[in-house]
Every structure is written in structure tokens, then in C-alpha cells.
Amino acid sequence: MARKISKNRNNTPMFLEKDTNSKNITGWIEVICGSMFSGKTEELIRRLNRARIARQKVEIFKPQIDKRYSEEDVVSHNANSIRSIPVQSASQILFYANEFDVIGIDEAQFFDMELSSVCSHLANHGVRVIVAGLDMDFQGNPFGPMPQLLAIAEYVTKVHAICMQCGNLAQYSHRTIAGDKLVLLGETESYEPLCRACYIRSRRQPLKEQSE
């Protein structure tokens, strides 16, 4: 008798997290993506903490650009934090990344385009690489190296926030103040998660000026 596999509506096996455990297999890449306030970093921390409990050697990297909370921590919005190494470029991860079983990368959208080849290199050398990042910028465009990472990853988890206007699942990070600068650091209050319909409607309305 065929083994039962839980399936989603598209009738494809649902992946939540890698469930095989063989020492013979090589490394792999997992991507956790979604909008702001979707719990990406919380999910990254959950996976890394479990690996750490199992005494796997774990290290976390984030781009130096992200100074919202503290230099040394990957910090999620619920203040559940984990220490990390800030690096200025993706290739610097290779410099630090010897001898680790699991490598986490947070805020991946802010890294340079070399990040996908860095992750491939690590995975090819037996490392479990877990990447978390925004898949779209506030204009709804693919963000930085995220499209490449999504293409090369074995496993992709898209997490959703809740639309602040209607309560549906949200995938857009809508900026609530004017300006076209791509990165607004330390200003999570300037964004709201929206679903597609509310995002389209909100983009048609004029934004407040930042000085207000």
C-alpha cells in the first residue's frame, strides 16, 4: 500500500522543513522568505536553536547594514534574539565559515549578488544553509539576491504576515511614508503588511511626507 503523504491544495507534497537525517548526504540550502512581520527571523531562530540543542555547530551571519537593534545579534521583532556575526559582503561569510554544520543568514536581501554562489559553495561542502530574507521590496519587486537564492534552494518556505487592513494573509511590505529609497533602517513603523488587493488600493493613495 502506498504511503500517505499530506498534500496541499495543489496536490504537491508540502515542505515545512527538511525531514531526512542522513550523514551521507551533502549540504543543502533552505530559504525562509516573506514580507515584513511574517515571522521569517523567528523561524530562522527556531531552526538554528534546535540544531544547537543537538550540538551541531551553528553560526549566524547578517549584513553589516542592519544596525537596527544591536551589532552582534540577529534580533527578531519579538525580542527572541540569537548572536550573530555582522559581515560587509557575502564573500566574507566564507572567510568565517569553516567547521560549521549549520549556517544561518538573516536579512539576506541586503547582501550583494554574490550571496547565492556563497551559499552554493557552503552547501556543496556539506553545510546546511538556512537563509531568511524579504522576497520583495516595498515596491513589490524581487529584492537583491533573493530571486537567485529561491531558484537554487532545495527548500523554500514562504511565510505570511496578516494584512493590517483586511485580515487576509499578507505578502507585501507597504511603506506608509513617501520616498523611494530602498532601505529604511530602524523604521519598521514605516511599513505595514498588506495583501495584494489592499496593497494595490493603498499604492493608489498619496503617502504622508516623512517629516510629518
Which window, 88-96, 128-136, 137-145, 194-202, contacts Zn ion (CB under 5 A)? 194-202
Nearer to Zn ion, 100 or 172 (CB): 172
107 is catalytic: yes
At its nearest, how many Å lie between Zn ion and the CB of residue 199? 8
At its nearest, how many Å lie between Zn ion and the CB of residue 52? 37
Q: Is 195 in the site for Zn ion (CB under 5 A)?
A: yes
Using CB under 5 A, which residues numbered 153 to 192 contact Zn ion? Answer: 163, 165-166, 168
Instruction: Convert residues 47-86 into a mask of x (bound to Zn ion by CB under 5 A) and - (unbound).
Output: ----------------------------------------
3-state DSSP of the chain: CCCCCCECCCCCECCCCCCCCCCCCCCEEEEEEECCCCCHHHHHHHHHHHHHHCCCCEEEEEECCCCCCCCCEEECCCCCEEECEEECCCHHHHHHCCCCCEEEECCHHHCCCCHHHHHHHHHHCCCEEEEEEECECCCCCECCCHHHHHHHCCEEEEECEECCCCCCEECEEEECECCCCCCCCCCHHHEEEECHHHHHHHHCCCCECCCC
At its nearest, how many Å lie between Zn ion and the CB of residue 148? 29
Catalytic: which of 30, 43, 59, 107?
A: 107
Q: Is 200 in the site for Zn ion (CB under 5 A)?
A: no
Nearest Cα neighbor of 47 from 140, 159, 136 is: 159
At its nearest, how many Å lie between Zn ion and the CB of residue 54? 39
Nearer to Zn ion, 182 or 197 (CB): 197
Size of the site for Zn ion (CB under 5 A): 6
Active-site residue list: 107
Return residues touching Zn ion (CB under 5 A): 163, 165-166, 168, 195, 198
